[in-house]
Amino acid sequence: MKKLLLATAVAAICSYPVQAEVDISGFASVMGGKLTSGSGVALFGLEPTFLANYPTVGVYEEDWTFKPDSKFGLQMTAELTEGLTATAQLVGRGADDFDAGFEWAYLSYVLNEHWTLQAGKKRLPLYYYSDFFDVSYAYLWIRPPADNYTWQIFNYTGVNAQFNYQLSDWSVSGNIYTGREDDAENKLLSEFFGTEPVREIWKDIVGGVLSLNRDWLDLRLTYMTYQNERYSGGQRVFWDGEDSRRGNFAGLSVNIDYNNWLLLSEVNRLALDGDDFDTYLLSAGYRIQQFTPYVSYADFDSDGEKHNTTSLGVRWDFHNSAAFKFQFDDVNDKGIGSNQVAGDSKAITMGVDLVF
Amino acid sequence: MNWFKVITLTAALTANTAFAEVAVIVHPSNAATLDQAEITRLFTGRGATFNNGNKATPLNLSESAAARADFDSKVLGKSSSQMKAYWSKLVFTGKGTPPKELNSDAEMKAAVAADANAIGYIDAAAVDATVKVVAKF
């Protein structure tokens, strides 16, 4: 009996290095671009600017820059024992001067064939592309349309339960999550929309995603509710005399990939303390062997802030693990006075996305 | 003369396409039946069991193997780049892990012959009695 135990233990130890193997994978984008024209916002003293990425404040100006959309990501996954894995993802973005940080760090446990539990730091899966926003190789454009992906918080720390079922011809998957995010110095609010350091807190986050896939059709429903607290320059921010406010986010996405045609769409609403912030996007592409030319329109509409972007571009899968992309963006900022964001702008961006 | 060359070339290409069949293979003891939809489900991470309830471990060929592109296009209906984009989305969001990759038909045959849960594919011409063919494309 003891011998058997010993033998089992030895076998377990011997096989341990194999089981604890760390898988390393990664992604990278090297993108350069510049404005071809832009109005800027005289009221803020803002020079002509194309705000390509709201949360990380990725901006293109009149000179060529490689910062806004370039990034490197490294993912390490360690399988600890059957069903338990630890994953960390280090991401360095040009918009942050390639100052790399852990964007994801979580433990994952496969409960059964259908359910997996995760705990730790993850990306907040609000919009369709939110949780793989940095992995540009995985989608059509240079970046998900900026008018939709405007929210200042994009991570959370908490727990997540994800599921996967098959119902006749439909694949049904999704997740339920809860957690919070306390961003000591929020980049978008501190640097772009304000002049003082802003601490942004999203707490009591509860959300869910439901995806339905069948053949060429992909449907996604998303909902999330959270409580917002904020400190500006160390002072608590009050909204109508209250020190916190509730936000409710809901979205629907319909994507079609049929006979080389790609149709991508998303419509979302954030109701924040009685105000509605509506966003949608519509993109169409047609695959001609390695080339996929596309057009896209995205819109943001609220009581004050209103803007849209029309984009034209092409994705060229010139290599099995890399794609070259070229995109032209035309931003129309319809906000009046202080409701402007960055004014009108036209810009070109090009470069390479890859995964390894 | 030139016409003759063209015709010969066309015939050669057509013949090549007809002969390069992909055989989806399992362990000889595996009694599960599989259609294209089920094979697609297993190789896209949307399912993890055979229709008889047994666990399924899909095995992929690496991109350097000839049958890989044929399998991706004929069975999954995607190019190898599309499959890579699909898996990157899942891998970097913690939603899935792509099948392990093997370098050749010979390695694939050996791996499937040694694992009762495995499902893989090889060039149909490389099939022998160590594995069982469940579908050909």
Residue by residue, pLDDT tens for chain B (137 residues) are 454 444 444 444 444 444 589 999 999 999 999 999 999 999 999 888 998 889 999 999 999 998 999 999 999 999 999 999 999 999 999 999 999 999 999 999 999 999 999 999 999 999 999 999 999 99
Say if residues A187 and A348 touch (Cβ distance below 8 Å): no
Domain A33-66+110-355 annotated CATH 3.40.50.170: no
* Better-scored residue on pLDDT, B11 or A90: A90
Of the partner residues A118, A134, A137, the one whose CB lies closest to the CB of residue B94: A118
Q: How far apart are the first and last CA of chain A?
A: 47
Judged by CB atoms closer than 8 Å, whether chains meet at B81 and A290 is answered as yes
State the pLDDT at residue A82. Answer: 82
Joined together, the tokens standing for residue A331 give 């931003």
Give chain A positions within 8 Å (CB) of B97.
77
pLDDT at residue A221 in the model:
98
Write out A4-28 in H/E/C secondary structure.
HHHHHHHHHHHHHHHHCCEEEEEEE
Structural domains of chain B sorted by starting position, each given as residue range(s) with its CATH number in brackets = 21-136 (3.40.190.10)
- Can you give the pLDDT at residue A4? 43
Maximum CA pair distance of chain A? 83
Q: Answer whether B84 sits within 8 Å of A87, measured CB to CB.
A: no
Q: How high is the pLDDT of residue A21?
A: 82
- Residue numbers of B between 103 and 132 with CB closer than 8 Å to A: none
Instruction: Tell me the pTM.
Output: 0.89
Cβ separation B84–A171 shorter than 8 A? no
Residue A56 tokens read as 């990380």
Helix (H), strand (E), coil (C) string for B69-133: HHHHHHCCCCCHHHHHHHHHHHHCCCCCCCCEEECCHHHHHHHHHCCCCEEEEEEHHHCCCCCEE
Residue A33 has pLDDT above 90, yes or no: yes
Average pLDDT rounded to a whole number, residues A64-80: 95
Residue ranges per domain, chain A?
A: 33-66+110-355
User: What pLDDT does B4 receive?
Assistant: 45
| DSSP conformation class of B99 | P
Q: Render pLDDT for B97-136 as a digit per residue (tens, 0 to 9).
A: 999 999 999 999 999 999 999 999 999 999 999 999 999 9
Contacting residues of B for A321, CB less than 8 Å apart: 81, 84
Average pLDDT over residues A189-196: 85
Per DSSP, what are the bridge partners of residue A338?
Answer: none
Average pLDDT score over residue span A58-77: 96
Closest-CA residue to A325 (of A141, A75, A181): A141
Interface test with A, best of B88, B100, B117 (most A CBs within 10 A): B88
pLDDT of residue B17: 47
Band (A273; pLDDT cuts 50, 70, 90): confident
In the numeric block, which tokens belong to residue A51?
């705000």
**Burial class of A12 by CB neighbour count within 10 A (0 to 12, 13 to 18, 19+):** exposed
Contact A166 B92 (CB under 8 A): no
> Measured between beta carbons, which residues in chain A are less than 8 angstroms from residue B41?
166, 171
The set of residues, in sequence order, having a beta carbon less than 8 Å from that of A262 and lying 6+ positions away, is A140, A255, A256, A283, A284, A285, A286, A287, A292, A294
**Confidence at residue A291, expressed as pLDDT on a 0 to 100 scale:** 98
Tell me what pLDDT residue A177 has: 98
Which of A164, A213, A355 faces B84 most closely, judged by CB atoms? A355
- 3-state DSSP assignment of residue A96: helix
Model confidence at A168, in pLDDT bands (50, 70, 90)? confident
**Residue that the structure tokens 């069949």 belong to:** B21
From the list A349, A331, A347, the residue with the least C-alpha distance to A41 is: A331
Residue of A nearest to B80 (CA): A320
Interface predicted TM-score of the whole assembly (ipTM), two decimals: 0.89
Alpha carbons A110 and B89: distance in angstroms, whole number: 19
The predicted model gives A18-47 an average pLDDT of 91
Instruction: Give the mean model confidence (pLDDT) for residues A51-71.
Output: 94
Flag if A138 and B46 touch (Cβ within 8 Å).
Answer: no
| Cβ pair A355, A26 in contact under 8 A | yes
**Is A166's CB within 8 Å of B84's CB?**
no
pLDDT at A190: 86
Which tokens is A48 given?
A: 């002509």
Per-residue confidence (pLDDT) for residue A19, from 0 to 100: 52
